[in-house]
A and B are shown apart, each in its own frame.
Chain A
């Protein structure tokens, strides 16, 4: 089934566009364009930018070390409803598998989720829906941690898109820092609608 709308509008619009067709212009070959920005120390750059946008990076060797660190975080310790997608890092206080309606996740205080890799230039982390039960888990908890293998940091967005297939996931995205707004007199407030804090664990042995 293509469009539910009257076929005619589709045809009219496409015909109008075809009639207007501007002169053809080549599509830039991005691989041959550049050079794009790179960094000597990608992790240092990533941490610096993430801090600038309100998040924090913690580099540890093992999952156990990350777990010990997480337990020192106040939002985690105070959170009553918690869940984790990384065995051994934090805990899950409810039966995640029993949840079939994302609304039931409304009260999650803390979620530990997986990220695939980090982008040094802008402090972003690539996440996909196959690592969570409901995509809203990236957005609805009061606080989140993203867990990424420490070796997985690319320089820039061009390298990032070279390694992902966005069409393979119904939902995927870059997350850079906690949710924020400056809509009241340009004053930056952290914690608009999504997470109030973001801690990124870079783990050597993951």
Chain B
């Protein structure tokens, strides 16, 4: 199913759609408070963007430097051209050590490579240890958000899931109680694991080490106990110098969840005594994106999720409607670039409001890229000449009525009920750079329907 149909299904459950919208707006507001409390916020974004731009221009050199220094630190470095090779490398490390039980912390890359099902097919017990990820894993779902994997799930549903799998009391839905149950359940898994696998937030060329940021401490427990640590990274995670971290750590958590910094920002530069540490560097289409001047900056993404939290379409259509590992504005660029046939409707899941570009900590020109991508898809440059595919694109545009209807309705309601400062807040997509007219109480469509009804003739 394409995005419009899935989005329609999500908004059909109005109560849930509104709750989802509010939950994300709450995170977005926390981000705004944090950003505005740092006087040099814009300078930080600019600097981060420039560091990334430089890194891209010398990516091969920095990767080689990272590899040489990591090797000196006793880390084994692997290279994977695609998802399949990545999965095979991980499996071969696990097999060599007869690993039966693997504990993972959050890694969007391994989601992208579908590592979990692959390992499970080969008899490995895989436990996701981030609380949100554990919830979606137990529910046999995928994360709907890159930072808040279970943002689409109500606490009552978590309660049901934990009752079934962890034996919590039936009907219990208190987040404190449920988190405590998960803590105890996962502690036991941490202690029994034969290997720990993590993602990578930043890899430092100059020192040959990696940095992993979490709030729960799950990555550190996951790799601190077993003898094997495998870290999987997309090649774009690279930074040249240790001090570049100062810029990125100031931006990441503030943009992601509105915290001053993540609880744990752990720097790994080698295995513990008697243990092994592996880093798998993955391409999987990234070098293709790097070729394109229009889209290469999408590789600068540090996966903070801010563009999702602010996106009016994401908030109201839910992460699963994108059917992509990374949803939201950045996912609507990266995913169609990697699989245009399957994801050609995503660049159209966007109002071009530009709010994503405004919040992005590394200043990716998200809405411009989305616009360019639409043109490419329309011109079929990206998806070849297949008629069937171009038809799908057309249907993607035409069947967006749900979006127009919904967004129109929200805009009208906002104008009437929202305090002025919310509408004219510089970060608010709807008020941005616009002198807004008085909102009509009814849309043209509603007015038309009403009139038809009064005439007694039309159907509403």
Interface of A toward B, CB cutoff 8 Å: 1-5, 9-10, 12-14, 16-28, 30, 33-37, 49, 52-53, 102-103, 106, 119, 121-124, 134-136, 138-140, 156-158, 160-162, 164-187, 189, 191-195
Contact = CB atoms under 8 A, between A and B. Distances in A.
A168 B204 CA distance: 13
A19 B257 CA distance: 37
Contacts of B77: 2-3
A130 B293 CA distance: 45
B40 to A, nearest CB: 6
B310 interface: no
B216 A179 contact: yes
A119 B318 CA distance: 37
A135 B225 CA distance: 9
Contacts, number: 280
Greatest chain A CB density within 10 A among B92, B148, B215, B263 is at B263
Interface string B43-81: 100010011011011111001100101010100111111
B42 interface: no
Given A179-B215, A184-B179, A156 B263 contact: no
B270 to A, nearest CB: 4
A27 B26 contact: no
Interface of chain A: mostly helix, strand, loop or mixed: loop
Given A135-B272, A181-B215, A193-B129, A5 B260 contact: no
B45 to A, nearest CB: 12
Interface string B167-191: 0000000011011100100110011
Contact of A167 (B50, B215, B242): B242
Interface residues on B, range: 35 or more
6 contacts: A16-B287, A140-B221, A176-B263, A178-B263, A185-B158, A192-B215
A122 B261 contact: yes
Nearest to B249: A157
Interface string B116-153: 00000000000001111001000000000000111100
B218 interface: yes
B79 A22 contact: no
A174 B202 CA distance: 14
A194 B217 contact: yes
A185 B47 contact: no
A103 to B, nearest CB: 6
Given A25-B53, A174-B265, A194-B221, A4 B158 contact: no
A172 to B, nearest CB: 5
Contacts of B261: 119, 122-124, 157, 174, 176
Contacts of B58: 24
A2 to B, nearest CB: 6
Contact of A195 (B39, B176, B217): B217
Nearest to B148: A183
Given A4-B92, A13-B81, A167-B269, 16 more contacts: A1-B76, A5-B78, A9-B81, A16-B287, A26-B54, A28-B54, A30-B47, A37-B38, A124-B260, A140-B221, A157-B249, A183-B148, A184-B175, A184-B178, A185-B158, A193-B186
Contact of B283 (A16, A123, A136, A175): A16
A27 B281 CA distance: 23
A103 B109 CA distance: 29
